[in-house]
Amino acid sequence: MLLQNIPAIAVVLKDKDVLSIPKEELKGADLIELRVDMFEKTENISDIFETAKRKYNLPLLCTIRLPEEGGKREIKNRVEIYQAVIPFCNFFDIEIFSNEAPFLRQLSIKNNITLIGSYHNFINTPSMEQLEEVFDRGKTMGMDIIKIATMVNGKKDMETLLYFTLRHKLDRIIVLGMGQQGIPSRIINPVFGSMITYASLNEISAPGQIHLKDMFHIFKVMGLRG
């Protein structure tokens, strides 16, 4: 992996962000997640990735989220887009339970791209047993990193996600809680083993995201950045 810092801060950008936001505004970011399902245009997507790579000189993560796991719209030719942006990407994200996951696993291996197998639940936080089942499926599929993001509806959910993070602190995981009550997990879990936390710039891609400047400041105060 080409991440300068672990835990890393990923900033989420859209196509118009890449064209309009100067490099200076991404101070503190270690990784750029380009959310293709949030793009205004789906033509010439590889040009956006090439511009982002050249302009920001940061590792790129391509995510084309399914609507049922939080995607903003349906993108039918996901595999074709992943293939088109291979020259510019260091990371792919694919839902563990998606039909394309096995193909993306092989594609990423062939092209030396780190694959994040993800699971999103926008309703609640499942039990530890259910989370372990998701983790086991991701490991069986050979995912490089397993990401679990669930809705936090109370203190118990926060405790479940933190306990899960502690149990897997030696694995390559990303664990975060969504929603207003899940905000602390985006700060605390990285201290205990979650590899990446996601920050926003102009528009959040999931409920509870913290602005990049605030996240970077928090990490500095916590001693996670120099």
Residues designated as active site: 120, 147
The H-assigned helical ranges of the chain are 15-20, 45-56, 78-84, 101-110, 128-140, 155-167, 183-188, 212-221
- Exposure of 17 in the CB half-sphere (CA atoms within 13 A): 23
**In Å, what is the CA distance from 203 to each residue of 11, 70, 173, 208?**
10, 14, 25, 11
CB 172 within 8 A of CB 195: yes
The edge-to-edge listing of strands for the beta sheet with 145-151 is 173-178, 145-151, 114-121, 91-95, 60-63, 31-35, 8-13, 196-200, 210-211
How far does CA 58 lie from the centroid of its chain? 15
* Cα–Cα dist 139/73, whole Å: 28
Identify which of 112, 91, 98 has the alpha carbon closest to the alpha carbon of residue 174. Answer: 91
* Cα–Cα dist 154/112, whole Å: 39
Residue 147's DSSP bridge partners are: 118, 174
